[in-house]
Amino acid sequence: MRKKTDKKTGGFGTISLRRSAMSAPYLFWAVAFIIIPLLMIFYYGLTDKTGAFTLANVAAIAYAEHSKALWLALGLSLISTVICLILAYPLALILSQRKLSQQSFLVLIFILPMWMNFLLRTLAWQTLLEKTGVLNSVLSFLGLPALNIINTPGAIILGMVYNFLPFMILPLYNALTKIDPNVINAAHDLGANGVQTFCRVIFPLSIPGVISGITMVFVPALTTFVISNLLGGSKILLIGNVIEQEFTQAGNWHLGSGLSIVLMIFILVNMVLTNIFDKNGEGTVL
Amino acid sequence: MMKKSAEKIYIALIILFMYAPIVTLIALSFNNSRTRAKWGGFTLRWYGALFENQAIMQALYNTLAVALLSAAAATLIGTVAALSISGMRRRSRTIFMSITNIPMLNAEIVTGISLMLLFLSFGIRFGFGTILLSHITFNIPYVILSVLPRTKQLNPSIYEAALDLGASRFQAFFRVVLPDLLPGILSGFLMAFTMSLDDFIITHFTKGPGVDTLSTKIYTEVKKGIKPEMYALSALIFLTVLILLLLVNYRPKLQKPSVSVAERK
Q: Calculate what percentage of chain B has a pLDDT beyond 70.
A: 94
Q: What per-residue confidence (pLDDT) applies to A157?
A: 96
With an 8 Å Cβ cutoff, is A263 touching chain B? yes
- Mean pLDDT over the full length of chain B: 87
With an 8 Å Cβ cutoff, is A274 touching chain B? yes
The pTM of this model reads: 0.85
Q: What per-residue confidence (pLDDT) applies to A30?
A: 94
- Position A276 confidence tier, pLDDT thresholds 50, 70, 90: confident
Q: For chain A, give every domain's residue range.
A: 18-54, 62-277
Q: What per-residue confidence (pLDDT) applies to A18?
A: 57
A81-90, A157-166, A277-286, range with the lowest pLDDT? A277-286
Q: What per-residue confidence (pLDDT) applies to B256?
A: 42
- Position B253 confidence tier, pLDDT thresholds 50, 70, 90: low
Interface test with B, best of A20, A120, A265 (most B CBs within 10 A): A120
Q: Is A117 in Cβ contact with B214 (below 8 Å)?
A: yes
What does the DSSP 8-state code read for residue A249? Answer: I
Answer whether residue A148 shows pLDDT above 90. Answer: no
User: Which residues of A fall within a CB distance of 8 Å from B89?
Assistant: 5, 8
Q: Is A253 in Cβ contact with B107 (below 8 Å)?
A: no
Q: How does pLDDT run across A40-61, given as a tens digit for each residue?
A: 999 999 999 888 899 999 999 9
Distance CA B27, CA A205 (A): 43
Cα distances (angstroms) measured from residue B259 to each of B181, B244, B253, B265: 18, 21, 11, 10
Q: Which residues contact A245 (CB under 8 A, 6 or more apart)?
A: none
A107-116, A174-183, B20-29, B232-241, range with the lowest pLDDT? A107-116
CB A175: neighbour CB atoms within 10 A?
22
Q: Is B107 in Cβ contact with A220 (below 8 Å)?
A: yes
Of chain B residues 102-131, which have a CB less than 8 A from chain A? 102-111, 113-118, 120-121
Distance CA B142, CA B208 (A): 26
Answer whether residue B265 shows pLDDT above 60. Answer: no
With an 8 Å Cβ cutoff, is A234 touching chain B? no
Topology of the domain covering B58-225 = MetI-like fold (1.10.3720)
Tell me how many degrees the CA angle B52-B56-B60 measures, rounded to the nearest 5: 115
Q: For chain B, give every domain's residue range.
A: 58-225
Mean pLDDT to the nearest integer, B211-234:
89
Q: Is A112 in Cβ contact with B241 (below 8 Å)?
A: yes
What does the DSSP 8-state code read for residue B31? Answer: B
CA atoms B50, B51, B53, B54: torsion sign: positive
Q: How does pLDDT run across B168-220, given as a tens digit for each residue?
A: 888 888 888 888 899 999 999 998 998 998 899 999 999 988 899 999 999 99
Q: What per-residue confidence (pLDDT) applies to B143?
A: 95
- Between chain A and chain B, how many beta carbons pairs sit less than 8 Å apart? 245
Distance from CA of A246 to the nearest CA of B (A): 11
Cα distances (angstroms) measured from residue A217 to each of A71, A80, A88, B203, B210: 17, 8, 12, 21, 33
Q: How does pLDDT run across B61-102, given as a tens digit for each residue?
A: 999 999 999 999 999 999 999 988 888 888 888 889 888 988
With an 8 Å Cβ cutoff, is B97 touching chain A? yes
With an 8 Å Cβ cutoff, is B261 touching chain A? no
Q: How does pLDDT run across A186-234, given as a tens digit for each residue?
A: 998 998 888 888 888 899 999 889 988 988 899 999 999 999 999 988 7
Q: Are A274 and B92 in contact (CB under 8 A)?
A: no
Q: Calculate what percentage of chain A has a pLDDT beyond 90.
A: 45
ipTM of the complex: 0.83
Answer whether residue B107 shows pLDDT above 80. Answer: yes
Q: Which residues contact B89 (CB under 8 A, 6 or more apart)?
A: A5, A8
Q: What per-residue confidence (pLDDT) applies to B155?
A: 83
Q: Is B194 in Cβ contact with A120 (below 8 Å)?
A: no
Q: Are A224 and A217 in contact (CB under 8 A)?
A: no
Mean pLDDT to the nearest integer, A264-273:
81
Q: Is B198 in Cβ contact with A118 (below 8 Å)?
A: yes
- Mean pLDDT over the full length of chain A: 85
User: Which is nearest to A119 in space by CA: B113, B200, B33, B154?
Assistant: B200
Answer whether residue A259 shows pLDDT above 80. Answer: yes
Q: What per-residue confidence (pLDDT) applies to A69?
A: 94
Q: How does pLDDT run across A66-93, given as a tens digit for each residue?
A: 999 999 999 999 999 999 999 999 999 9
With an 8 Å Cβ cutoff, is B184 touching chain A? no
Q: Calculate what percentage of chain A has a pLDDT beyond 70.
A: 89
Q: Are B64 and B236 in contact (CB under 8 A)?
A: no
Higher pLDDT, A279 or A229: A229
With an 8 Å Cβ cutoff, is B190 touching chain A? no
Q: What per-residue confidence (pLDDT) applies to A169?
A: 93
CB B249: neighbour CB atoms within 10 A?
12
Answer whether residue B258 shows pLDDT above 50. Answer: no
Q: What per-residue confidence (pLDDT) applies to A268?
A: 84
With an 8 Å Cβ cutoff, is A256 touching chain B? yes
- Position A1 confidence tier, pLDDT thresholds 50, 70, 90: very low
Residues in chain B: 265
Q: Domain A62-277: give its CATH code.
A: 1.10.3720.10
Distance CA B207, CA A107 (A): 34
Q: Calculate what percentage of chain B has a pLDDT beyond 90.
A: 49
Distance CA B193, CA B73 (A): 11
**Which member of A108, A127, A240 has the closest CB to residue B109?**
A240
Answer whether residue B130 shows pLDDT above 90. Answer: yes
With an 8 Å Cβ cutoff, is B88 touching chain A? yes
Of chain A residues 72-101, which have a CB less than 8 A from chain B? 87, 90-91, 94
Nearest CA in chain A to B106: A267
Nearest CA in chain B to A271: B105
Q: Is B104 in Cβ contact with A283 (below 8 Å)?
A: yes
With an 8 Å Cβ cutoff, is B146 touching chain A? yes
